[in-house]
Amino acid sequence: MKHFIQLNQFLKPYKWYILAGFLFIVLSKIFAIFPARFISQAFDEVKQALETAHLSNSSAIYKEITNYALMIVGAALVNGFFLFLTRQTIIVASRKIEYDIKNTIYEQYQQLSRSFYKKHNTGDLMSRIGEDVSKVRMYFGPAIMYSMNLTVLFILVIATMLSISIELTLYTLLPLPFLALLIYYVSKTIHQKSEQVQIKLAGLSTNTQESFSGIRVIKSFDTSSYMKSKFTDQNQAYYSASLSLAKTNALFHPFMILLIGLSTILTIYIGGRLCAEGKVSTGNIAEFVIYVNMLTWPVASLGWVTSLTQRALASYKRIDYFLKINPEIVNQKNAQQYNFGDIKLNNVSLKYQDTGIEALKKINLTISKGSTIGIVGKTGSGKSSLASLISRMYDCTEGTIEIDQKNISSINLFQLRDHIAMVNQDVFLFSQTIAQNIVFGLKRSYTNQEIVWAAQQACVDENIKQLKDQYQTLLGERGVNLSGGQKQRISIARALIKDADILILDDCLSAVDTETEHQITQNIKTLTKEKTCIIIAQRVSTVRHADCIITLDEGRIVQQGTHEQLIKTKGFYQDLYHKQQI
């Protein structure tokens, strides 16, 4: 009930749409009932005329019937017009609500921290904003519309029926509750079975997609027959689930027709007897048959609406769960002026909550503006974790990080990230053009020359110029595939054009040859004279020019000094240097 009330909160901004929709439903139903009444009257008049058959007045009867026919068509047209308005208000409102909810969810997704994304897989996140929102929309649109429809129709039709004959009304309505119950159960079964079909389909799609994206591994390990048999199994499961759904669906309609038929027979049988007793007219029987048919679909929809509402509630609970999650990184709203670039880490530790891994232990480090710091260390020693702390992707579990002597958590998050240009270890380029990738996230205006300049600084301009569409080359699934080193350099260009106060390069020269690497580090050195630069690397050659180099081991700083100092001291750096010299 709590969720149901919360769900209906979304209606508030659109209450006038819903109220107008209700009014249109009432009007359209009034005009839906008229034809039945006209038919009844026409029947009775024809019968009377036949009983007192005078050929002379047959043309008068034809005229009378034509009048009725015109009135029926007229009423149907008016009914149709109001039906159109009903859909224009209620269904339109539901689409607007869908739009609102999608925006709310997307905003929330953007605020949640990286640890949230580790806990939930992409498919799950996609289905919240896709499928679950659609199910909620089905409640605001069809479910609300059909329940209003049913209520209004019931009141109007049953009142009319009762005014004609109470006895006939009761008999006629007898099968309807069974119909509603049947439909409720059948649509529940259909829903369960379609969920199964969905699950099987999702499995099949994931597998298929993986076999496309992993085609290089599959081919080189010659596992195509294994993949094929896996696909066949999943395809079989999907096939069986679909078949079972089709069987239930096939039973659904015949059952409905059977129940409608039963109601009609009852109406004619009981109506015929009452007619013989003179309690109702033949016209009334015809009228009742029409009413039965009018009521059947709404009653059938009752079961459907109930299951739609249940599904919407289940989906809403899932959406609500996501919306209620508080972003772990709390943002300080006000932006102020800081001297970005002076960074100080005091006794900083980081423990990843989900894995319990302590990636950084009691780190003390001062990086002053304008200096370049190199970070080396074995794999898993905490280098990337240190970089994530500075851009506040995570909050440290112990100690403090200060920027311009202010605690990082008191600085506006967006402002902080605006002043940091980061090149991540796992390069990600969007399925857009190269130029769009380079200026991605750039908040100021820029010229094409600047894009080329950034690419030149990252030593990737030559490569781009060799492509047919140059900077307009589309990347990604439907575009060109670049080499690992080219991707790295484009992401470096993306960071350089940002011209931020702090530049963080996380192992982003690993796929670049030493000569190009030398060129890029030289360029960066010139560009970042006034800025703070943090370079994480596996190679001594990348960091040797840094003002200070630290060596991390199992989350601790074990060495600190300049290149000249460190190569003279026994330890990781010296080993690394000698090995790489050889």
Ligand X SMILES: Nc1ncnc2c1ncn2[C@@H]1O[C@H](COP(=O)(O)OP(=O)(O)OP(=O)(O)O)[C@@H](O)[C@H]1O
- Residue 304 and residue 185 in contact, taking contact as beta carbons nearer than 8 Å: no
Q: Say which entry of Mg ion, ligand X, none residue 307 contacts (CB below 5 to 8 A, set by partner kind).
A: none
Q: Say which entry of Mg ion, ligand X, none residue 222 contacts (CB below 5 to 8 A, set by partner kind).
A: none
Among 138, 382, 457, 494, binds ligand X (CB under 6 A): 382
Say how far apart CA 361 and CA 377 lie, in whole Å: 14
Judging by DSSP bridges, how do beta strands 420-423 and 502-506 pair with one another?
Answer: parallel
Q: How far is the CB of 413 from ligand X (least distance, A)?
A: 18
Is there binding between residue 542 and Mg ion (CB under 5 A)?
Answer: no
Other C-beta atoms lying within 10 Å of the C-beta of residue 1: 6
DSSP letter for 467, please: S
Q: How far is the CB of 469 from ligand X (least distance, A)?
A: 33
Lay out the sheet containing 420-423: strands in order across: 420-423, 502-506, 532-536, 372-377, 548-553, 556-561
Say how far apart CA 386 and CA 511 lie, in whole Å: 22
- Residue nearer to ligand X on the CB measure, 475 or 492: 492
The CA-atom distances, in angstroms, between 294 and each of 38, 79, 173 are: 15, 13, 12
Stretch that binds ligand X, among 20-28, 250-258, 337-345, 351-359 (CB under 6 A): 351-359
Stretch that binds ligand X, among 61-69, 137-145, 377-385, 474-482 (CB under 6 A): 377-385
Among 8, 357, 462, 513, binds ligand X (CB under 6 A): 357
Q: How far is the CB of 502 from Mg ion (least distance, A)?
A: 18
Stretch that binds Mg ion, among 55-63, 171-179, 274-282, 418-426 (CB under 5 A): 418-426
Give the angle subtended at the CA of 455 by the CAs of 454 and 460, to the nearest 5°. 155
The CA-atom distances, in angstroms, between 268 and each of 152, 265, 300, 454, 539 are: 25, 5, 21, 85, 92
The CA-atom distances, in angstroms, between 47 and each of 41, 70, 222 are: 10, 20, 84
Other C-beta atoms lying within 10 Å of the C-beta of residue 465: 11
- Residue nearer to ligand X on the CB measure, 118 or 465: 118
Among 108, 315, 384, 457, binds Mg ion (CB under 5 A): 384
Q: Which residues are bridge partners to 535 per DSSP?
A: 374, 505
Q: How far is the CB of 359 from ligand X (least distance, A)?
A: 4
Q: Say which entry of Mg ion, ligand X, none residue 377 contacts (CB below 5 to 8 A, set by partner kind).
A: ligand X
Say how far apart CA 219 and CA 391 lie, in whole Å: 40
- Residue nearer to ligand X on the CB measure, 297 or 352: 352
Q: How far is the CB of 379 from Mg ion (least distance, A)?
A: 7
- Residue nearer to Mg ion on the CB measure, 128 or 361: 361
- Residue 281 and residue 275 in contact, taking contact as beta carbons nearer than 8 Å: yes
Q: Which of residues 78-137 bind ligand X (CB under 6 A)?
A: 118
Q: How far is the CB of 582 from Mg ion (least distance, A)?
A: 25
Q: Say which entry of ligand X, Mg ion, none residue 81 contacts (CB below 5 to 8 A, set by partner kind).
A: none
Q: Which of residues 38-67 bind ligand X (CB under 6 A)?
A: none
* Nearest C-alpha neighbor of 68 from the set 40, 26, 48: 40
- Residue nearer to Mg ion on the CB measure, 384 or 542: 384
- Residue nearer to Mg ion on the CB measure, 89 or 384: 384
Is there binding between residue 561 and ligand X (CB under 6 A)?
Answer: no
Residue nearest to Mg ion (CB): 384
Say how far apart CA 380 and CA 355 lie, in whole Å: 14
Stretch that binds ligand X, among 186-194, 352-360, 398-406, 556-564 (CB under 6 A): 352-360
Among 105, 359, 509, 535, binds ligand X (CB under 6 A): 359
Q: Which residues of 221-233 are buried (b: 16+ CB within 10 A; e: fewer)?
A: eeeeeebeeeeee
Q: How far is the CB of 489 from ligand X (least distance, A)?
A: 19
The CA-atom distances, in angstroms, between 313 and each of 128, 202, 298 are: 13, 22, 22
- Residue nearer to ligand X on the CB measure, 539 or 545: 539
Q: Which residue has the tokens 């605690």?
A: 407
Q: Which of residues 416-435 bind ligand X (CB under 6 A)?
A: 425
Among 425, 436, 516, 541, binds Mg ion (CB under 5 A): 425
- Residue nearer to Mg ion on the CB measure, 113 or 538: 538
Say how far apart CA 33 and CA 291 lie, in whole Å: 8
Q: How far is the CB of 512 from ligand X (least distance, A)?
A: 16
Residues 6+ apart with CB under 8 A from 579: none
* Nearest C-alpha neighbor of 435 from the set 448, 422, 424, 453: 448
- Residue nearer to ligand X on the CB measure, 51 or 354: 354
Say how far apart CA 375 and CA 539 lie, in whole Å: 10
Is there binding between residue 381 and ligand X (CB under 6 A)?
Answer: yes
Is there binding between residue 559 and Mg ion (CB under 5 A)?
Answer: no
Q: Say which entry of Mg ion, ligand X, none residue 355 contacts (CB below 5 to 8 A, set by partner kind).
A: ligand X
Among 81, 352, 440, 446, binds ligand X (CB under 6 A): 352
The CA-atom distances, in angstroms, between 278 and each of 164, 233, 281 are: 12, 68, 7
Q: How far is the CB of 504 from ligand X (least distance, A)?
A: 12
Q: Say which entry of Mg ion, ligand X, none residue 359 contacts (CB below 5 to 8 A, set by partner kind).
A: ligand X
Which positions lie near Mg ion, rule CB under 5 A?
A: 383-384, 425
Give the interface with ligand X as residue ranges (CB under 6 A).
118, 352, 354-355, 357, 359, 377, 379-385, 425, 507
